[in-house]
Structure 1
């Protein structure tokens, strides 16, 4: 939670998912998430658990290049779950997501906020978050 970060620097607290997915197409979904864990540290969920939460457990061993745009987006969002960071910075997080996946994302963001985390999102779509502040 943000209240517990103390003297941590912004990069140590921040998780960013940009408009581009930032995934290596030749690596599997699981390998991409393991790479993120090794780079960012602070492991939270295993890659398989994170993919399961986003409805992609079946894609754990598939190269990301074989996945649809929406599936790739969900793998990118799964990075939020494999490393524990209190601040999520998201650019168009619902891009390429169907209604079911958007609802999953809304649930993940709500749980993160309920646990003391902060979500900052740039979006053209409503995110379905109760109590969210909107800046224009």
Structure 2
């Protein structure tokens, strides 16, 4: 599958944030969305996620405009924004079971394995409000992994992660790309990603 943006224009008040942006991302590719603050990195990811309609232009998934079947498109992507979108009073394990259960049926042990993969298995029974900022970010990443979607849209995913967490996330992203996934991630500072196909999309 290919994600294609065609002539995307977005205004924020009187500011023309995205000016006719066009690009395509194919399976097995990662794109680093870069640029100073205020250049539209988050705006672009929200447009690609179908959360914000552009004033002009279109987004296509597999050649089909995403507005033609929003439910099918939403089922193909995982979006991680600045907000981890966790339920504070649910445990780490319960957060995964709840969020993933809205999308698909979980198999026994899947949620626990996802916590293990992101290095917070020991936090399974702790409420999200008791987790550190880095642990909450890892938990949100586990939710992305569990969704089993081909397209990942990640907005500043390395925020609040220590060196170990950053290396872990880089490896998870690389693994997804190697398996044929598509990843677009917005980040001020991008650590080394061990992927064969990494492109930079500079916003100005």
Same fold per TM (> 0.5)?
yes
Structure 2 distance, partners of 1:65, 1:29, is: 9
Q: Does 2:144 align with 1:80?
A: yes
Contact 1:42 1:84 in 2 (8 A): no
> 1:65 is matched with which residue?
129
Q: Does 2:199 align with 1:133?
A: yes
Q: Does 2:101 align with 1:38?
A: yes
Gaps of 5+ in 2: 3-26, 28-60
1:56-96 deviations in whole A, cap 9, x for unaligned? 00001110100110000000000122121000000000000
Structure 1 distance, partners of 2:78, 2:105, is: 11
Shift of 1:43: 4.5
Structure 2 distance, partners of 1:46, 1:36, is: 13
Root-mean-square deviation (CA, aligned residues, Å) is 2.2
Write out aligned runs for 1:1-136 (5 A).
9-41=72-104, 43=106, 46-129=110-193, 130=195, 131-136=197-202
Aligned residues, how many?
Answer: 135
Instruction: Considering fraction of residues, name the structure with more strand.
Output: 2
Instruction: Considering fraction of residues, name the structure with more helix.
Output: 1
TM-score (norm 1): 0.90
Contact 2:97 2:106 in 1 (8 A): no
Structure 2 distance, partners of 1:35, 1:42, is: 10
Q: Secondary structure at the match of 2:166?
A: helix
Structure 1 distance, partners of 2:158, 2:189, is: 7
Gaps of 5+ in 1: none
TM-score (norm 2): 0.61
